Amino acid sequence: MDKCFIMINKFGSNNRSSVTIDEPLANYELTLHPHKPFLYAIFLGLFVTLSGWMTYPVHGSNWNQWRGSLGDGSHTSDPWPASIDEKTLVTKWSSEKLGASYSGPITDGNLVFTTESSEDKESVLAFTLKDGKLKWKQNWSGKMKVPFFAARNGSWIRSTPAVANGRIFVGGMRDHLLCLNTKSGEIEWEIDFPKKFKSPLPDFGFASSPLVDQKHVYVQAGASFNKIDQETGTIIWRTIGDKGGMWGSAFSSPTFAKIDGQNQILVLTRSDLNGINPEDGKALWKMPIKAFRGMNILTPLPFKDGIFTSAYGGGSSFIRVGNKQNKWSATLKWKNKSQGYMCSPVQYDGKAYLHLRNNRFACFDLETGKEEWVSSKSFGKYMSLIINNDKILALDQKGILYLIQANPKKLNILSERRLPKGESWAHLGVQNRMVMVRSLNRLHVFDWKI
């Protein structure tokens, strides 16, 4: 769908009669000497110039949403140690037993948030990051069953929340987006997409995760992609409609990119990869991505002039994107047969690292598509990855944590450790020295002695 629909909704006392669309901007804290106005002017000029170059919003947390605040699975901090043994990565606290969840933990820097499904309810829980005290819990009705062939992995809440500006945004299984106050857990607004737009209920639930910038939240829900005002819940635009139900309803989560000087949002649907203009919701370009039964699941990885992606049944590919005389194009730069599945890749020094459908770990050259290596070692059915410089933290579905060196010549596992019992389908989180792990029924926080 090339059309962009602008829709205005009313919520509570903060009704709006007009919509202002803002570019995602960086959030800087400026500390300037009050007696140096000349330097202030220079610094301000540099700030305005640099802010125009920023692709990703900057938040007070390293891990405020799916794949972290930068959206690419990277974490910038002091170098990590070469070990994750119990003396180096110390257990700080673990929660009591929780309802099952696939949602990764996120944090605003003070609180860590997780979700659960229990009987006919879904919940968000807020714990203090430092000591694990439960601050609040909010429930809503959200029970549903996924199709029988996917039921062995449970019908639990899937979407990883996002937090920004004192609000947490979470997608409930029944295509239900909620905004909660981070201090109190009070629901500020909510959107029931099937009720509002008569869209089919997604057969696999709300699986895509929200994406936030400084003022907006973006979600693949209601058989479409939506930009929403964080404060009021006003839907600013809807675009790229799909069938919903079994054959629509996205699995992949959106991410920010800057390609050929243009800020855009990469949106992978069940059939296509799209570059969306965040201002008006129009598709700048589109490229079909083949996948078995539309299983485009991982989050695409932007790199230089294009995007890497990989799909069950469709192989791995790199899409080159460009703009000539205001006309965008997307072309296939390379393709190989290796199939990713659910693991979203990370990159270091021009190489992509990811877990494949065959449960092996692999390294690809992003420029050429060359398969540098595929491990002989087999892992669990899923891995989540975070990279810091040349070290990768990888948590597999079996609950084993690996520290892997990003090495283009071979798989180099520096250290490994089985964490507390229980599978983990949720994405890892890292906040400064804290490592956050959501096993199927508990939340664990570790303190890395860096």
pLDDT digits (tens, 9 = 90+) for 167-209: 999 999 999 999 999 999 999 999 999 999 999 999 999 999 9
Share of the chain above pLDDT 70, in %: 86
pLDDT in tens, 283-303: 999 999 999 999 999 999 999
Considering the chain, what is the average pLDDT of its residues?
88
DSSP notation for 24-61: ----------TT-HHHHHHHHHHHHHHHHH--S---S-
Instruction: State pLDDT tens for residues 227-236.
Output: 999 999 999 9
pLDDT given at position 150: 73
Q: What pLDDT does 5 receive? A: 34
Q: What was the pLDDT predicted at 247?
A: 83
CATH 2.40.50.100 fits 37-448, yes or no: no
Structure confidence by residue, pLDDT tens digits, 115-142:
999 989 999 999 999 999 999 999 999 8
Separation of alpha carbons 450 and 443, rounded Å: 22
Whole-number pLDDT of residue 15: 33
Kindly state the average pLDDT of the residues 200-226: 96
Count Cβ neighbours within 10 Å for each residue of 191-204 and write b for 16 or more, e otherwise: bebbeebebbbbbb
* Cβ count within 10 A of residue 254: 24
Residue 174 has what pLDDT? 96
pLDDT of residue 373: 98
pLDDT (0 to 100) of residue 184: 98
Instruction: Indicate whether 49 pLDDT > 70.
Output: no
Kindly report, residue by residue over 377-428, the tens digit of the pLDDT. Answer: 999 999 999 999 999 999 999 999 999 999 999 999 999 999 977 899 999 9
Question: Tokens 């699986």 label which residue?
Answer: 207
| Residue 60 pLDDT level (bands cut at 50, 70, 90) | low
Based on DSSP, count helices (H) and strands (E) in the chain, helices before strands: 2, 32
pLDDT of the residue at 152: 72
Across 338-348, b (16+ Cβ under 10 Å) vs e yields bbbbbbbbbbb
SS3 294: helix
Residue 313 confidence (pLDDT) above 70: yes
pLDDT of 235 = 98
Average pLDDT over residues 21-35: 33
The pTM for the full model equals 0.86
Q: How many angstroms separate the Cα of 233 from the Cα of each of 138, 221, 295?
A: 18, 14, 30
Sheet with 89-94, strands from edge to edge, namely: 89-94, 443-448, 434-438, 429-431
Closest listed residue to residue 290, CA positions, set 332, 230, 249, 322: 332
State which amino acid sits at residue 90: V
Res 384: pLDDT: 98
